[in-house]
Amino acid sequence: MSATAVAAPKVRAAGVRKSYGNLEVLKGIDLTVDQGEVLCLIGPSGSGKSTFLRCINHLEAIDSGRLWVGDTTVGYEQRGNKLYELSDKEICRQRTEVGMVFQHFNLFPHMTVLENLMEAPIRVLKQPRRQVRERALGLLAQVGLAEKAGSYPKSLSGGQQQRVAIARALCMQPSLMLFDEPTSALDPELVGDVLAVMRNLAETGMTMIVVTHEIGFARDVADRVAFFDGGQIVEVGPAADVITHPQQQRTREFLAAVR
């Protein structure tokens, strides 16, 4: 054993495959995401980025390969021809450790902003109301929305709703945050505030996997970038290398088209 302890990867995928009917969406994904790392997934529409994210959070089951989420937990493991799946209880437990932010904020419309944040920690984690309330108010301050605690989602802008959605995910105290195109439903002038919240979160050391078309964000904030195309990772490496000096022709074409 080496003198320096090395933390286990937060997420590890090995040969992950997923099809919808005859459409093979993930064609053998191999990827490791380290503790505290920010990884951005970029690539054309339909290349499988969201599906991969959804597999990590057990919103989709993989067909084959292996997927570990967390330090020790096996997500899915193919043993011979038999696919081992987590029990519903294990999935629930793992989901509480993984926060997910979607393109469309998915806030509960009938609850205030503060109630949106408090709902899952109280109902799912059974944490004391007073403690959750304190944490929720702190998170709202962190995303610049302390004064909106008593408002209903429909009275907020899209950017504010997305910042609430991020705070809501964080209120569960996750150790991994997944973002699925968090800014693509926003008007351009609202994107900056959401990206600033994500940038601050990255600086706290949170492990983050972000599907995004915001190439500037990926270049400036990600530790590594993975370029997906046709259900495969074509290129993965340090953000500055993949975005500024892509090695693969396909990556170069994609970046030229989106810039």
Ligand X SMILES: Nc1ncnc2c1ncn2[C@@H]1O[C@H](COP(=O)(O)OP(=O)(O)OP(=O)(O)O)[C@@H](O)[C@H]1O
Q: What's the closest the beta carbon of residue 101 comes to ligand X, in angstroms?
A: 14
Q: Is 182 an interacting residue with respect to ligand X (CB under 6 A)?
A: no
**Strands of the sheet with 38-42, listed across from one edge:** 98-101, 176-180, 207-211, 38-42, 224-229, 232-238
Considering beta carbons, is residue 52 or 76 the nearer one to ligand X? Answer: 52
At position 253, the amino acid (one-letter code) is: E
Q: Is 102 left (phi over 0), alpha (psi -120 to 50) or beta?
A: beta
Q: For ligand X, what does the binding mask look like between residues 20 and 59, x meaning CB under 6 A?
A: x--x-x-----------------x-xxxxxxx--------
CA 140 to chain centroid? 20
Q: How many residues bind ligand X (CB under 6 A)?
A: 12
Where in 211-250 is the site for ligand X (CB under 6 A)?
Answer: 228
Considering beta carbons, is residue 21 or 109 the nearer one to ligand X? Answer: 21
Q: What's the closest the beta carbon of residue 245 comes to ligand X, in angstroms?
A: 23
Burial 182-217 (b: 16+ CB within 10 A, else e): bbeebeeebbebbbebbeebbeeebbbbbbbbbbeb
Q: What's the closest the beta carbon of residue 211 comes to ligand X, in angstroms?
A: 6
Considering beta carbons, is residue 37 or 229 the nearer one to ligand X? Answer: 229
Q: What is the rounded CA–CA span in Å between residue 174 and residue 95?
A: 9
User: Segment contacting ligand X (CB under 6 A): 18-26, 143-151, 195-203, 217-225?
Assistant: 18-26
Which parts of this chain interact with ligand X (CB under 6 A)? 20, 23, 25, 43, 45-51, 228
